[in-house]
Structure 1
Amino acid sequence: PAAVYGRVAPLIVEIGSGQGHAIVHAASGRPGDDFLAVEVFRAGLARTMRDADRTGARNLRLVEANAPEVLEHLLPAASVSELWVFFPDPWHKKKHTKRRLVTADFARLAARALRPDGMLRLATDWEDYAQQMRAVLDAAPEFERAFDGEWAPRFDGRVLTAFERKGERAGRAIRDLAYRPATP
């Protein structure tokens, strides 16, 4: 990351950045940090680049790739300060749930990428996916909860996106989770 950004700074990675609303907002408001948007859809990346240019965010880079490959092969171990997974595709049909991002393998890769003092932040409006994510991460030996109770409080750095508005309009509750790497 230091070679790509030309400096040493905290690195925040958003998996599935969509059209970039959250990461562009964060990058433009936190010029001392570096940001990486990971997305598979070119249209979303194009929108992200346009908005980043419009706001003058020079601390944002984008990669068109699948998250597991980025976490395993592109990012050095212990290089990420925060990893964000906001409103990932819920694959809400029962026959498609096997396609969901947050699995035990994802937990292992996320833990590898995170710094020991790092944070994994997640949010979804699909209750069954929220429960699955919580179950997977609670069971992952690489992570421990960074919240008390059933759900984490809303992450202040997460802007209201179109996906969140859509979920709220449909009457779905928004659920946040936050995990830190487990202490050895």
Structure 2
Amino acid sequence: MTDGQERAWSDLAPRYVLEAPRDEAATSVRPGAAVTLREVWGRDAPLIVEIGSGQGHAMIHAATARPETNFLAVEVFTAGLARTMLGAERAGLENLRLVEANAPEVLEHLLPPASIDELWVFFPDPWHKNKHTKRRLLTPEFATIAAQAVRDGGVLRLATDWEQYARQMREVLDAAPEFARSFQGPWAERFEGRVLTAFERKGARAGRAIRDLTYERRDRG
């Protein structure tokens, strides 16, 4: 990391980083490690979680625009989290927290069940080579874990610039009994709350169309 990013970890991590009790791996979350949201944010408020927050552009933009909402950025790359903290400090944000951990384990072990109002997965790694597609995040197993974490009536928002991956996402979530489509036609409208990031610009410059998907968590009853 740069000197500034190192400073972010030493000076800002106590303020922004949510420490996750580890299992065996460095970015794992130990089962039974669920946090109390009121203790983390100091209030009761809707919670929006972004998986793969990168450098934090979407989170910082959203947290600034919606101070009444709690936000959690989930990322495994330290430098990206450091940049997010620097941006959060410049914006004076109090409603944003970060966690360096594997996303499925955050949803399954760290956050209480049915605690997320909106779950965002924007531009996840497409692993576009055939031999690597098994590494993709969006699988039936992930859909089950996400359904556990999202409250009834909560929203799952996704976006990608890889058409084949978008179709896989749609196939997985259409088959998930816990989720229902919140859009008509083949794709959802672009989510207005998603700030234009470097990933989206890169995809557009390469001529790849951006495809959005939106699903609602069905009532558990």
Secondary structure in 2 aligned to 1:36?
strand
What is the rounded CA distance, in whole Å, between the counterparts of 2:131 and 2:175 in structure 1? 23
Aligned length in residues:
184
- From 138, 141, 148, give the equivalent of 2:184: 148
Please list, as runs of the form range in 1=range in 2, the aligned pairs for 1:43-122 lying within 5 A after superposition. Answer: 43-122=79-158
What is the rounded CA distance, in whole Å, between the counterparts of 2:147 and 2:211 in structure 1? 21
Output one character per residue of 1:34-91: Cα deviation in whole Å (capped at 9) or x when no partner.
0000000001000000001101111000000010100000010010000000000000
What is the rounded CA distance, in whole Å, between the counterparts of 1:167 and 1:112 in structure 2? 31
What is the rounded CA distance, in whole Å, between the counterparts of 2:187 and 2:90 in structure 1? 35
Are 1:9 and 2:9 an aligned pair?
Answer: no
Output one character per residue of 1:97-132: Cα deviation in whole Å (capped at 9) or x when no partner.
000000001101111110102100000000000000
- From 166, 170, 182, give the equivalent of 1:134: 170
Specify which structure has the higher proportion of strand: 1
What is the rounded CA distance, in whole Å, between the counterparts of 1:32 and 1:181 in structure 2? 22
Residue 44 of structure 1 aligns with an amino acid whose one-letter code is: G
Secondary structure in 1 aligned to 2:98?
strand
TM-score for the superposition, normalised by structure 2: 0.82
CA deviation after TM superposition for structure 1 residue 165, in Å: 0.2
Please list, as runs of the form range in 1=range in 2, the aligned pairs for 1:15-54 lying within 5 A after superposition. Answer: 15-54=51-90
Residue 174 of structure 1 aligns with an amino acid whose one-letter code is: I
Once superposed, what is the RMSD of the aligned Cα atoms?
Answer: 0.6
Are 1:123 and 2:159 an aligned pair?
Answer: yes
Residue 122 of structure 2 aligns with an amino acid whose one-letter code is: F
What is the rounded CA distance, in whole Å, between the counterparts of 2:164 and 2:202 in structure 1? 17
CA deviation after TM superposition for structure 1 residue 182, in Å: 2.0
List gaps (5 residues or longer) in structure 2: 1-36
Residue 161 of structure 1 aligns with an amino acid whose one-letter code is: T
List gaps (5 residues or longer) in structure 1: none
Output one character per residue of 1:20-45: Cα deviation in whole Å (capped at 9) or x when no partner.
00001000111000000000000100
